[in-house]
Amino acid sequence: MPRGEVVAPELARPAGRAESALDKDERLRAAVALAPGGSSDPKPGILPLQLSFQRHHCVPSLFLAAENDISLPLPGMIELFGRAPRPKRLLVLRRADHLHFIDEVEEEHEAVRAKRFPGVLEWIPREMRPIVELCSGEDARAFLTAFGVVGDTVGGGGLGLADTQGEDQ
């Protein structure tokens, strides 16, 4: 398969549908999970998604997480990564929150911080750090580009933006 070819573009969906596709869809040849949900102990109001990882074929997986993700905290991502079958790799963007994986990070992050969430989600803006305390949108895009998620480059050597945990076999 040529690098960058999307076998099943309809699987690029938020909030659980993409995660459940990791369990079920036989078309997948590789997966990149951006700030995935699925820990055994989600925060209040976060969808309680679970992945069984009971696939019938090998799907190499790259997990990209944010060090300061308040919605889906890093310990939950590490737990999810630990349950995933090999081959797999986890890359952690330092000084980043959940929204660092979208365009216009700075604007979107501060818009969420300024928003009032109802009931069980009211903790979200209160727990978010100001964007000036986190890495820039430019650094986040460099992280995603370096690891082949956006743009035309692959690699990532020397950026100093990520911590890795890998199990390539």
Number of H helices, E strands in the chain: 5, 4
Q: What token pair was written down for 26?
A: 């036989």
Q: What is the mean pLDDT of the chain?
A: 79
Q: Is residue 165 a part of any domain in this protein?
A: no
Q: How many domains does the chain have?
A: 1
Structural domain of 38:
9-155
5-57 pLDDT, tens digit per residue, is 434 444 444 444 555 566 667 787 888 888 888 888 899 998 887 777 777 77
Q: Which residues pair with 88 in a beta bridge?
A: 61, 167
Q: Is residue 107 a part of any domain in this protein?
A: yes
List the one residue out of 41, 46, 43, 40 whose CA is nearest residue 16.
Answer: 46
Q: Is residue 70 a part of any domain in this protein?
A: yes
